[in-house]
Amino acid sequence: MPIPVIHNHDGHVDDILGCILLWLSPEVDLQAVGITNGDCYFDQAYEAMLKVATFLDIEGPEIAVSEDEMPNPFPDNWRRESYIINELPLFGANDFKKPYQQGRGRRLETAFADCISHSKTPVTAIVTCPMTNIANMLREQPQLKSKITELITMSGAVQVPGNVDAEGCDGSAEWNVYADPVSYKEVLESIPNITIIPLDVTNELRVTPEFLARLEKQSDRSKASLLALKLFSLVRGFEYYFWDTVTAAALVEPSIFTFKDMKIDITTQGKSMGKTGTSIFSGRKVRVALQANKERFEDLVLSIFARI
């Protein structure tokens, strides 16, 4: 029986591809998608997500949105990528199609809460963005945490350096945590079962020319593969990783990963703000992915994208 899932993301290339992976996976019943105003501009990312679903001719989850700004906003040049994604020429094929969803999306917290509260079985939450909106939802309706069977999140740098290069920071934080460390810590302490996909494992899963060649080979018969190829073309020339797509794969095929239970705490202020460090006396125990089988991961992505 497919796993009921909600996916909270913030609209970058790897977020969208992770969402498509969940959407097309037969193991997943994707019930709601929420766009957080993190590594994107929410209005652009929301429109782009609607265009993705329309282009692929797929049905399913409600797409919701939040305009809340992060306490520590992502760099503007990263966020502006959502404008480029939204204007992909490929979406011109949508002109004669019925739009996936009409009008402005509902408030993210409301849509997720409705989905979780009405689900007959506990829901898995995939979060590939800051925890701002998940924390807001649980503050408003704390009883919902008992209906989230697991939260899987792309976040943190446990035994490797972080990727935040901002004034006053020591380089130990990862952006999804640094953007709102207080909310992250709050969620970490609220939901019983949490799996973290940190930079430790995503650093080993770069988007390579060899992978793109395989993707291109199947793109003439697969709309999802063609879309993925066009999205990856936007970051060509950069060293780009599968960050959030890896996180979706951790739900679909967890046997690809090596996990370890670790006690993690979050630094919420000072030069190490957003650091996800191991702790003996504080924090809480979570499941952390430390390794992944690159070949099996790439095969999984290609096989699911080839479905349509």
Stretch 205-211: mean pLDDT, rounded?
A: 96
- Reduced to 3 states (helix: H, G, I; strand: E, B; else coil), residue 93 is helix
> In this structure, what CATH number is given to the domain that contains residue 271?
3.90.245.10
- pLDDT tens per residue across span 253-300: 999 999 999 999 999 999 999 999 887 777 889 999 999 999 999 999
pLDDT of 150 > 90? The answer is: yes
Tell me the pLDDT band of 175, cut-offs 50, 70 and 90: very high
Q: Among candidates 195, 185, 105, 198, which has minimal Cα distance to 138? A: 185
Name the residue range of residue 23's domain: 3-305
Kind plus residue range of the DSSP H or E element containing 51: helix 42-56
Show Cβ contacts of residue 72 under 8 Å, excluding neighbours closer than 6 positions: 166, 178, 179, 180, 273, 274
Structural domain total, the chain: 1
- Exposure string of 77-109, with b = 16+ CB inside 10 Å and e = fewer, is eebebbeebbebeebeebeeeeebbeeebbbbb
> What tokens does 71 get?
């306490």
**Edge-to-edge strand ranges of the sheet holding 28-35:** 62-65, 28-35, 3-9, 123-128, 148-154, 194-197, 284-292, 257-266, 276-278
Tell me the pLDDT band of 156, cut-offs 50, 70 and 90: very high
